[in-house]
């Protein structure tokens, strides 16, 4: 009889695969995978809407949020040091449709809030925001303390 040695890493890998399988099944077909929860406003995914891209250079942090169909008047943006909060509301496509049964409903609607930590402290009074073609674009100037400092090296 062969003796098997317990391998905690093999068991953790089995648990990870099982969790991924459960997420894949709950998200349905379509190749979304367990880690792409950035699609609009289903009950399970509302915490990661809108999906974001964040980048930076030495002076600014830039954010692009994919949010088609929003009424720009419902968007509220607030910034405190390095924390950004975006809230808004996405209206349903048509309130005229009174369907008895929905066969598929992939376009979410309703109120959303997304709070994220930025990679640096920013000057909240100088943030610029633009909503164009369904994309919310923010330019957030870094605070002076967050900008990189050049240090001269003296040679003796």
Residue 13: which domain range? Answer: 9-38
Same domain, 17 and 85: no
Residue 67 lies in a domain: yes
Same domain, 56 and 89: yes
Interval 72-91: pLDDT, tens: 889 999 998 788 999 998 87
Same domain, 69 and 142: yes
Residue 87 lies in a domain: yes
Residue 99 lies in a domain: no
- Cα–Cα distance measured from residue 64 to residue 50, given in angstroms and rounded to the nearest whole number: 9
Same domain, 75 and 13: no
Among residues 17, 12, 120, 128, the alpha carbon closest in space to that of 64 is found at 128
Interval 78-125: pLDDT, tens: 998 788 999 998 877 666 667 677 677 677 778 888 888 998 889 989
Percent of the chain exceeding pLDDT 70 equals: 75
Contact 127, 70 (CB under 8 A): no
The pTM of the full predicted model, rounded to 2 decimals, is 0.61
Contact 69, 91 (CB under 8 A): yes
Same domain, 114 and 62: yes
Half-sphere CA count of 92, side-chain side, radius 13 A: 6
Q: Which residues contact 28 (CB under 8 A, 6 or more apart)?
A: none
CATH of the domain at 120: 2.60.40.790
Residue 43 lies in a domain: no
Domain count, the chain: 2
Residue 102 lies in a domain: no
Same domain, 84 and 120: yes
């Amino acid at each position: 009889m062969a003796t098997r040695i317990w391998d905690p890493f093999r068991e953790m890998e089995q648990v990870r695969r099982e969790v991924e399988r459960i997420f894949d099944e709950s998200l349905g077909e379509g190749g979304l995978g367990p880690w792409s929860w950035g699609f609009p406003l289903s009950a399970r995914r509302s915490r990661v809407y809108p999906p974001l891209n964040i980048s930076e250079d030495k002076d600014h942090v830039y954010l692009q949020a994919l949010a088609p169909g929003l009424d720009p008047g419902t968007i509220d943006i607030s910034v405190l040091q390095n924390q950004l909060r975006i809230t808004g509301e996405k209206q349903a496509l048509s309130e005229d449709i009174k369907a008895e049964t929905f066969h598929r409903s992939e376009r979410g609607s309703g109120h959303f809030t997304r709070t994220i930590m930025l990679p640096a402290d920013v000057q909240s009074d100088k943030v610029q925001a633009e909503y164009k073609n369904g994309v919310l674009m923010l330019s957030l100037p870094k605070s002076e303390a967050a900008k990189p400092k050049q240090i001269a090296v003296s040679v003796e």
